[in-house]
Amino acid sequence: MACKWPFDCMTTTISGQIETPAKLAPHNRWTRLDLAVLPYSEALDLQYRLAAQVQSEGKEGIVLFLEHAPVFTLGKRGGCENLTVSDDFLDKHGVTVFKTERGGNITYHGPGQLVVYPLIKLKTAGLGVADYVDCLEEVMLRTAADWGIRAERNVKNRGVWIGNDKLGSIGIAVKRGVTLHGLALNVVTDLTPFSWINPCGLTDVGIISLAEAGAADITVARVRERLATHMAAVFNIDWEGAT
């Protein structure tokens, strides 16, 4: 399936053939899990376990809302060549490096950045891969707008942008029809670690957060609630089991 734009960062990888239903399925029920700040490896293990439940136990979807301890993640395209500091420097600053199966290049996750991992069956949701990524972008665009921030899509790079500065990233994988990974939206993130890499392998872009863009009275908790509301509307779902 061809995507609408090229994926240069945190891109899509697909295992197996995904059928593309004609439209969103009506009112699926997804389970929402609100989690603490987690090391990347723990969150990834949890994704795998819960994705297996979605695949085998008939669950329509499970969505994780969390923040990560500081980590650089590498995609299938690599990314070590775009890390501009030494291992000793990273050790000193408490930042780990983790190789993932997602597409794309290197990016950063850390406290103050809202990370959302939907584990859903695309066919049950009535979505193709490109449609799914469009929906994730739409959720972030609407969330930014709640704080008066006008973000946009970029015809060359997926995610949401304010001018030449990236506000939110998307990176997914699909295995046996179930999505993994998801979106990362900079809320009150310390953006300093982004200066230690060429984000997404790009050297001519900046990184911005909602706070730096001028959002007032903003917290990850507040953004989490607004984003969950917009996700329900965009994906035409109801939440159950919110924690």
Beta strand residue intervals within 121-228, DSSP E? 160-162, 165-175, 178-186, 206-207
Contact 185, 136 (CB under 8 A): no
Q: Which long-range contacts (CB under 8 A, 24 or more apart) does 149-157 make?
A: 149/210, 149/213, 149/214, 149/215, 153/5, 154/5, 155/5, 156/5, 156/6, 156/8, 157/5, 157/6, 157/7, 157/8, 157/9, 157/200, 157/202, 157/205
- Residues with a known catalytic role: 200
What are the Cα distances from residue 216, in Å, to 30, 139, 149, 168, 220?
A: 31, 20, 10, 18, 12
Indicate the DSSP class of residue 78: B
